[in-house]
Amino acid sequence: MKITKNRYLMSFVAIVLILAMIRLIFPDVAKDKNVNRPVVVNDALNDSGINTLGKKDSVGDGEHVVSSIFKLTSFYNAEGTQVRNRINSVPGFSRTFPDNNDVQLVSANKYGVKPVENREDAENRKKELVFVGANPYYFIDPLRSSIPYLVPRAAVLLNDIGRAYYDSLRIKNIPLHQIIVTSVLRSKEDVMKLRNYNGNATENSCHLYGTTFDVCYNRYKTINKLDGSKGRMVRNDTLKWVLSEVLRDMRENNRCYVKYEVKQGCFHITVR
């Protein structure tokens, strides 16, 4: 037993001696590789959204300037100044969003459900449809000629549009507003009633398939205001320009078809 312990002790001493010799021959092995390297701090903004970077942080034996988190975001530049991104809108609404009903119907037939007969039929399709009546990224208008259901693919698209719109407003330093959805799934019964007073409503509407929704471009729901002001510090036209940029990007990425509806004041959108 004593012989085994002695062997372990001799082996340990031998390893220590070898490591000591390596350190003498190669002194760089023992140096801290993090010295003189900037430290990246993830919590660069405090709870109030105020920049806490640009300060010196003591690490080890030396002082290192904490690298700016603003280099990693689109909201601030390296100096901590907020970036003001321009609003470009689109070349022309009708030219940028020309997708008529016949174009959108192809996608509606591909991804949609069988047209529902009435509200009761729609309630029985819950295995095929998802509820879109409440969401932090968009607001559903009081619906009179449709019900708040979409196929999952279209529901994801609507959510992504609302979220991208938030991001665009924030990066352009515009108070947050929700897009307003004015029409969603329509039953055949809804379409018949709608055609009595709406000339734009077609008998074979894309809204029948749960793939289509309308987003108005002349109304928005205010979420917050700048500088605690009582009035809204942005015009509807400005909000429309930003929304058009978002929809153009979605359309160019083959996420949807979009028709600019002049008389109805909305963007008619079908998932792809």
Residue 220's nearest CA partner among 138, 130, 105, 126 is 138
138-140 vs 177-183, strand pairing mode: parallel
What is the amino acid identity at position 169? Answer: L
pLDDT means per 10 residues in the chain (272 residues)? 61 74 69 47 37 40 41 60 79 96 96 92 89 94 93 98 95 93 94 76 87 97 69 84 98 98 95 98
260, HSE (Cβ side, Cα atoms, 13 Å): 17
Identify the sign of the CA torsion 99, 169, 158, 250. Answer: positive
Q: What distance in Å separates the CA atoms of residue 37 and residue 147, rounded to the nearest whole number? A: 58
Q: What distance in Å separates the CA atoms of residue 118 and residue 269, rounded to the nearest whole number? A: 22
- pLDDT value at residue 225: 64
Q: What distance in Å separates the CA atoms of residue 242 and residue 90, rounded to the nearest whole number? A: 9
- pLDDT value at residue 35: 46
What are the C-alpha distances in Å from 2 to residues 7, 12, 16, 110? 9, 15, 21, 81
Residue 269's nearest CA partner among 194, 217, 221 is 217
Q: What distance in Å separates the CA atoms of residue 119 and residue 37, rounded to the nearest whole number? A: 64
Whole-structure pTM value: 0.69
> What 3-state DSSP class applies to 261?
strand
What is the amino acid identity at position 55? Answer: K
